[in-house]
Amino acid sequence: MASAEGPTDDSPTPAKDAPAKDVSATDASAPAPKPPLAIRLRPWLILTLSAVLMFLGFAGFGVWPLAFVGLVPALYVFDPVLKTHGGFARPVGRAFFWRAWFFGYLSYVGGFWWVEYTIRTFGGFPLAISSLFASIFWGFQGLEFALLAWVFRRARENGWPATLVVVAAYLGVEGLFPQLFEHYYGNAFFDVPILIQVADLGGPEMCTALAIGVNGAIYETIADRLQGKPWPRAAIAAAAGYVVFTLGYGAWRLSSEAARAEQAETIRISAVQANLGLFERFDDPFEGVRRQRTMSDELERTEHPDLLVWPESSVPMWLDRPASFARMIPDLETPLLFGAIRHGEPREDGDRRMHNTAFITDADRQIIDHYDKTYLLTFGEYIPFGDQFPFVYELSPASGQFSPGDDVEPLPIRLRDGRAYRTSVLVCYEDIVSGFVRRAVREGDPHVLLNITVDSWFGDTHEPWVHLALAQFRAVEHRRWLVRTTITGVSAFVDSTGQVRAHTEVFEPATLTHDVPMLAGATTLYGLIGPWPGYLGALLTLYFLRRRRSPPVGTLPA
């Protein structure tokens, strides 16, 4: 019998005879504890910060220095090299997609928040429907950043340096991903003349390369130092070298364009901004014409222009008998460019096609030529698949049913003193469609670019200023002046270096007059080759995805 003091000598002891507990098996079968909420939220907060920096640095908010750092936080979240640095694992699979898409979606909501207002106001939709359509737009464009993040992660897994990868990937994705409103991250520098002169070499993506190159070099420096690696001298040198090149080229181009403008013939152009509301111009079309005619009469007496420019749809009526227009402007003695509506050829259903048209007159008030708008505004001038499913126009009665034009021939400017010049007319947002403008300049060799538009659809938002900022790059790309005339603003004169020489404010009647150099004959590298940075970036990206670099991706030290 066992004594009260404890077990006898022949009693089994746990230390000697009991089977050992399998601790490893128990730990492996237990579910891993969830990280604290603060850790789980950390990557989302970092991506939110990055998205805010991105859209604040872009045209619109215009805090352009942020364009040099906006992408850095997002790269920190998506770079697989850092493994679990910061307390959270780098996402893969569905988690990776949703984080990347969230970053892109939020960037576009901040940069293009006015899209919802436009769809609601001009399309006539209720708030819920316009928000849905806007979210579809923001969400689709957000896929651009999801693709960029995926490419960056895969190429980094293959061992390629962060700066080289992100510049190539951003250029490739930005250049090839479809966009409703064509824009580039390099448009952030619209208000820094010395930085945007490189656009005549390869379009706005030359400026995108500048911004993303600096982002990449900053991020690569941070990532390498976190891993205990030396400073990434190649990335820093490449980014610094491109900055120096951009500044040097910009200074030279600003000087050479000033000398070129001094030697050119000039004509005096006056822009008329009558501040006609979105639907006001249709309530009484003749009132709008009278208002613009009165303003033009005053310009003829005081400024003596060679050419008057009225906005898009400034004569909001059918103009199928051009000869009758002279009776509307009996006192004007200056050639006039204006917008109106024109009937075209019959459609398959028997109705005649409608065109958003720019007409130009001579000094005798006779219409001598016209141009039909080619790129139509979605939901404003047509609804996608509306020809196949006509009932959709019943759902959006405020949407037009226009047909596009089919040529980019320049319109002649014939002045009272006998001089003649050529202009490529860009209606509405055609001035932000770089490929279209390039085609028009290549085929027409215009002396000046004239844009007539209606930005009243966007209300009291910063879209009119964004529109102007994007359009400024067309002047740089082709080294021509760009004259923009809008119904409610912003009307502006942009010189061949992309600088705004004069502009109006929004929602106020105003006129602008400026002597504009006639600069035909200029051929730029961009005009000859087109947007080659995007194609080069896409090719390099494919190479980085297919070929693994040695040594492979490193990891953080223990």
Q: What is the mean pLDDT of residues 256-283?
A: 90
Q: What is the pLDDT of residue 5?
A: 42
**DSSP per-residue string spanning 158-177:** TT--HHHHHHHHHHHHHHHS
Question: Would you say 295 and 308 are in contact if contact means Cβ atoms under 8 Å apart?
Answer: no
Q: What is the pLDDT of residue 27?
A: 54
Q: Could you identify the residue written with the tokens 């033009």?
A: 296
Q: What is the pLDDT of residue 28?
A: 53
Residue from 480, 462, 459, 500 nearest 119 by CA: 459
pLDDT tens digit sequence for 336-387: 999 998 887 766 666 777 899 999 999 888 999 999 999 887 766 776 656 6
Distance CA 328, CA 123 (A): 31
Distance CA 139, CA 137 (A): 5
**DSSP per-residue string spanning 95-145:** HHHHHHHHHHHHHHHHHSTHHHHHHHHHH---HHHHHHHHHHHHHHHHHHH
Confidence band, pLDDT 50/70/90 cuts, at residue 32: low
pTM: 0.88
Tell me the percentage of the chain whose pLDDT exceeds 90.
Answer: 68
Confidence band, pLDDT 50/70/90 cuts, at residue 406: confident
Q: What is the pLDDT of residue 414?
A: 96
Q: What is the DSSP letter of 20?
A: P
Contacts of 243 (CB under 8 A, 6+ apart): 210, 214
Q: What is the pLDDT of residue 1?
A: 42
What's the mean pLDDT when you consider all of the chain?
88
**CATH architecture of the domain with range 265-518:** 4-Layer Sandwich (3.60)
Q: What is the mean pLDDT of residues 164-182?
A: 95
Distance CA 274, CA 281 (A): 10
Indicate if the pLDDT at residue 554 is higher than 70.
no
Q: Could you identify the residue written with the tokens 């895969």?
A: 154
Distance CA 20, CA 526 (A): 76
Q: Name the token pair of 81.
A: 């090299």
Indicate if the pLDDT at residue 9 is higher than 60.
no
pLDDT tens digit sequence for 487-531: 998 999 999 999 999 999 999 999 999 999 999 888 999 999 999
Q: What is the pLDDT of residue 119?
A: 81
Q: What is the mean pLDDT of residues 94-111?
A: 96
Question: Would you say 323 and 299 are in contact if contact means Cβ atoms under 8 Å apart?
Answer: no
3-state secondary structure 386-449: CCCCCCHHHHCCCCCCCCCCCCCCCEEEECCCCCEEEEEEEEHHHHHCHHHHHHHHHHHCCCEE
Q: What is the pLDDT of residue 29?
A: 59
Q: Could you identify the residue written with the tokens 């917008």?
A: 339
Q: Name the token pair of 307.
A: 């050419």
Highest mean pLDDT among 33-42, 54-63, 115-124: 54-63
Indicate if the pLDDT at residue 25 is higher than 50.
no
Ordered by start, the domain boundaries in the chain are: 37-256+532-546, 265-518
Higher pLDDT among residues 149 and 387, named by residue: 149
